A = this chain, B = another copy of it.
Amino acid sequence: MLERQTKDMINIDPLQTGGKLTEEARRALIEWGDGYSVCDFCTGRLDEIKTPPIYEFVHKTLPDFIGCDVARITTGAREAKFAVMHALAKRDAWIVMDSNAHYSSYISAERAGLNVAEVPNTGYPDFIITPEKFAEVLEETKRKGEVVLALITYPDGNYGNLPDVKRIAKICQDYDVPLLVNAAYAIGRMPIKLKEIGADFIVGSGHKSMASSGPIGILGMRGEWEEIVLKKSSRFKNKEIELLGCTARGPSIMTMIASFQHVRDRVKRWGDEVKKARYFSSKMEEMGIIQLGEKPHNHDLMFFQAENLYEISKTAKDGRYFLYKELKKRRIHGIKPGLTRFFKLSVYGLTYEEVETVLEAFREIIKENIR
């Protein structure tokens, strides 16, 4: 049996905190684990399966939840981004994206053959993407060639910053460039609606933020894009080309559906999560560990700078691995082995007792190791 060593630890890896399964999802896993289990009553397209109720989820529940006209399931957020980029790509065309974008946004653009123009952030210590800079880069890039798409990461996966996405959407509208919102760390954690933002596409991740088994993502869009991005095959009239006809069949979609009630409820408690994150951040700062990115912070994903831990690592027995090992001893996982000076973490979904355990761990580690 292949065991997961970290299963019962407190996991503060931002990648992991929103993807933990609910009990309902665990039951769905077993019930629907077999390869093509959801396809028993498929009549040709995943999103049209009525037993189990995938049709209802994709065509009613999801569009409602993320405020879009049309939604689809993909095999991941990156695959959703690539589908849009590939559908809109033209020879020698450009995409404008924020420099805080996830690496997979860049690689999706590379795969789609798009030139990438990046909107720089404000740099240390806030790393904010401003609407002004976004407009500036759009303006510049329009002079170089056709801009077929803009992308904003909301929040980004490094600092957990939430840029002013409504103003950015307005700017993109003014420049007549469609905007894709990469909300892999938003959908399933915090309230977010495409139409309230005023953008064209929105992308989410099931395994990152919707308590689902991977790989699975979601793609939402305004109705006007359906015919372009979800264009059907010339020969197989009900199959959508950019989705290769079918995507996340199997337990991934079923865990997403099973977790949905819980996910919808937890989104309503987003205010509490932000409060908890800010509390955690303030306590870390009391230890001399500085939170970078937006302050006060508006998301559970936080980036820290710890000069004191870095100093300790220079002489610690385990060198730069000391922090990882000290945390592991205390059954806390999620800061990458070897990092001490800069690291990100998330306390999403943790109880306050667990938050205190993590804080106390940092306090002890500093106290015990400082010379």
Contact = CB atoms under 8 A, between A and B. Distances in A.
Contacts of A250: 207, 213-215, 252
A107 B252 contact: no
Contacts of A82: 244
A241 B1 contact: no
Interface residues of A, number: 78
Contacts of A246: 78, 104
Contacts of A239: 103, 107
Q: Which 7 A-B pairs have the closest CB atoms?
A: A19-B35, A35-B207, A214-B250, A75-B75, A78-B244, A15-B36, A6-B40
A33 B7 CA distance: 10
A52 B2 contact: yes
A235 interface: yes
Interface stretch (A24-32, A163-171, A269-277, A362-370): A24-32
A19 B35 CA distance: 4
Given A75-B76, A106-B236, A241-B107, A35 B16 contact: yes
A227 B257 CA distance: 39
A199 B19 CA distance: 40
A26 B15 contact: no
B36 A111 contact: no
Interface of A: 1-7, 11, 13, 15-16, 18-21, 24-37, 39-41, 51-53, 75-76, 78-79, 82, 86, 103-104, 106-108, 110-111, 206-208, 211-215, 233-236, 239, 241-242, 244-252, 254-255, 257-258, 333, 337
Contacts of A242: 111
Q: Which of A2, A79, A234, A337 has the most CB of B within 10 A?
A: A2
Nearest to A25: B33
B34 A111 contact: no
Contacts of A206: 35
